[in-house]
Amino acid sequence: MRWAFLEVVTSATKPLTSSVGTNALQSNQQRLDFNRGTASQDKVDKAIARYVVEDMQAISTVESPAFRRLVSLIPGATRQMGRKTFSKYLEGEYTKMESELKKTFEGLNYISTTADIWSAHNRSFMGITSHWINPTTLQRQKAALACKRIKGRHTYDVVASEIDHIHSLYGVSTKVTSTITDNGSNFVKAFAMYQPESLSDDDDDDHDDDEEVTFTDVADALNSAAEEGIVLPPHQRCASHTLNLISCNDIDKWLVSNPGTKALYRSSTAKCTALWNKTSKSTLAAEVVSEVVTKKLLVPCTTRWNSFYDAVARIVEIPMTDLSAISDRLQLKSISDRELHFLKEYCATMKPLTVALDILQGEDNCYFGTLLPTLETLMSKTLEVKDSLTVATGLPKAIVQAIKRRFASVLESSDAMLAAVTLPKFKLRWLRDQRKKEMIKGILVAECHKFVPGSSKDKEQDFFSFEDDDEHFASVETEVMSYLKTAETGMEILQQFPTIKEICLKKNAAIPSSAPVERLFSLGGLVLSPKRNRLSDQRFEKLLLMRYNHWFED
């Protein structure tokens, strides 16, 4: 257990060198000395709150006799809070955090959000996280905005109302460049219905074939949005979720429908499944595996992306003789040489896709501009594997076709191209086609013209400003050419190119996937544990948001 609250007194201690006995502590170790230094009561209270919130302890911890005894040893701790007083203290800190977030958002022009719905202990919650690039430091930053209880059916209008309410609460409704969600039909319809200025869904070609197709009446959409006053930002589908659909649905359909792989795929995965089931449900079976190989077998999980690939990859790492020995001892059908060869080809072909999926789930150094270079590299690396295959020879082409179909709108999106080219680590390096390079360069120049501020001339002077137009065009061209020629790949180079920096802040505010809100829910599962399922919805949300945002961290 990490006693975080004791950090308030460790700064007053120094490494001590003991002169007593040979078993004394070394001089490079620190000990708490309660006789040195005095911490203010405010620091003590904050340290206690940090311990409870960060380590997700029960609020009643502050009334534990052992805990109170420990706190009483801290110099400066003149009073100790009870559960009710401590709850009020946390309420006040949450209010401060909320005000600080609103103040931060006031100084931003562009942010993005991710949204999803999570259910636990017979309760449902709408989670929303926000992401932006700090205009001064150019560092990626994030914050959780809500994990609000929603009741009733999760229909598109309920989803739209909650998202709009949370955006309005923080004053970011007009600043959100896009909201990233999964491919759920309720989210897709919500954004289609409540965007009166752009009713057409840009991702029409990028939908899950297994989803229910929803037909929307344009007049109803306009009336609905106007009556309720709800307007949602542009919708962006989670790239990681879409890649996972390719990995699970599209590839599975191709392997089953292809005569050359159908039998092998079914027989090999059936034997793998039998092995996973046996070892996950029987301690004796798990011990058999540990006796033969040093690594434990992984079991696929439907809620974890890449889990099937990871589980198969772990099996193909095991030598054929050891696999046969394990199957014999567990009384299972052994995987044949041909089946093992097929599984190895499957893993070799799928590896680029799994790497891409992991990249797009990033947060700190991942931007919307990462998406296009990742997809282009993924397709080229997948096709490179084709020549080394003997069984699943058509699988690489099937993967590339699925990527082009599901990401059709993204691959042709000007916003995605601008996001990629304004990231210094990519620029135009990810492109091989010279014509496409020139096209994107032209798009960047045209976008720069939109961001250059207008002059202060009167209307007549502005109407006949031929020379100024030429100078303006030349300056934009010069900035773009100078930027593309620089060898630096760090974000700080954008400080030298203010127009391109502004475009980058807008186009790269978003991230490619909705993984951050999934991580918020993972933390939520630790906060709302079975022993704490009586937490009120409001207190749970506040504890979770303070934990996700690390409010009590120095």
**In contact, 160 and 190? CB cutoff 8 Å:** yes
pLDDT confidence of 77, banded at 50, 70, 90?
Answer: confident
The C-alpha torsion from 116 through 120 and 124 to 128, rounded to 10°, is -30
d(CA 42, CA 46): 6
Tell me what the mean pLDDT of segment 165-193 comes to.
Answer: 95
| Tokens representing residue 111 in the block | 């942010």
Mean pLDDT of 17-40: 51
* pLDDT computed for residue 1 by the predictor: 39
On the question of pLDDT at 276 being above 60, the answer is: yes
Q: Which amino acid is at 513?
A: S
Res. 12 pLDDT band, cuts 50 70 90: very low
Question: Of how many residues is the chain composed?
Answer: 554
For the chain, domains (ranges, CATH) are 41-81 (no CATH), 101-202+228-237+513-549 (3.30.420.10), 241-367+374-402 (no CATH), 415-509 (no CATH)
Strand 111-120 and strand 123-133: the pairing is antiparallel
User: Of 53-67, 174-188, 191-205, 274-288, which range is least confident?
Assistant: 191-205
Least confident of 444-448, 451-455, 527-531: 451-455
Instruction: With a cut of 70, say whether residue 119 has pLDDT above it.
Output: yes
* pLDDT higher at 14 or 263: 263
The percentage of residues in the chain with a pLDDT greater than 90, rounded to a whole number, is 74
Q: Residue 282 and residue 280: Cα distance in Å, rounded?
A: 6
Per-residue pLDDT, 217? 54
CA–CA gap between residue 444 and residue 422 (Å, rounded) = 8
Tell me the three state secondary structure of residue 12. Answer: coil
Q: How do residues 298-336 score in pLDDT, each as one tens digit?
A: 999 876 778 999 999 999 999 999 999 999 999 999 999
With the C-alpha atoms ordered 426, 431, 434, 437, is the resulting torsion angle positive or negative? negative
Give the predicted TM-score (pTM) of the model. 0.83
**Interval 58-77 mean pLDDT:** 90
Quote the mean pLDDT of the chain. Answer: 86
Question: Residue 198's pLDDT is what?
Answer: 46
User: From CA 174, how far away is CA 106, in angstroms rounded?
Assistant: 11
